[in-house]
Amino acid sequence: MSAISPQRRLSTAEERRETVLRTAIQAFAARGYYGTTTTEVAKAAGISQAYLYRLFPDKEALFVAVVDHCSARIRECHAEGAAGASSADPAAVLEAMAAAYEGFIEDRDLLRVLLHASCAASEAAIGEAIRTCYARQVEYVRAASGASDAQIRAFFARGLLGNVMTGIDAGSVDAPWARTLTG
């Protein structure tokens, strides 16, 4: 009786690219754009650095792809929130999106990547990527909610404050300033 061995399926370049992006999020979240090497990302992804460079021409392109990936995930989060809104009223849609986002940013790696991207925005391509990320979010929120500019500004102000408070783990601080800003 011969054993039939299952055929090994090789991953496509696109599947490997997605794996590298997920791994790179963790690496860049820990040490930022400037503190992370492509060697670290390749090793964590289980590929050679040469193969990493076949997928992404350089570290900057990899980081920009990570920012784009995070941007797409945020948009999906906002879409899920909007779909679960209790009504089509702009305030209700914004509240549903905000609630979805509050849970979403508990993924601190994704959050830290966005904060690092803002800090590395002096690099032309990274600055363009993070501005595009915010532009896409604003335009999606506008289209999905029908909210006014003032409502959208308040929505993003709340979200950006939430990013900082989550990033510094202010929820674990029992002090008046932390309660004021996280309440």
**DSSP string covering 136-152:** HHHHHHHHHH---HHHH
- Taking alpha carbons only, the member of 120, 121, 104, 101 closest to residue 31 is 120
Q: What is the full per-residue pLDDT of the chain (183 aa) written as tens digits?
A: 445 555 655 568 788 899 999 999 999 999 999 999 999 999 999 999 999 999 999 999 999 999 999 999 999 999 999 999 999 999 999 999 999 999 898 888 999 999 999 999 999 999 999 999 999 999 999 999 999 999 999 999 999 999 999 989 998 999 999 999 987
Contacts 24+ apart (CB under 8 A), 98-102: 98/155, 98/158, 98/159, 101/74, 101/77, 101/159, 101/162, 102/162
pTM across the whole model: 0.88
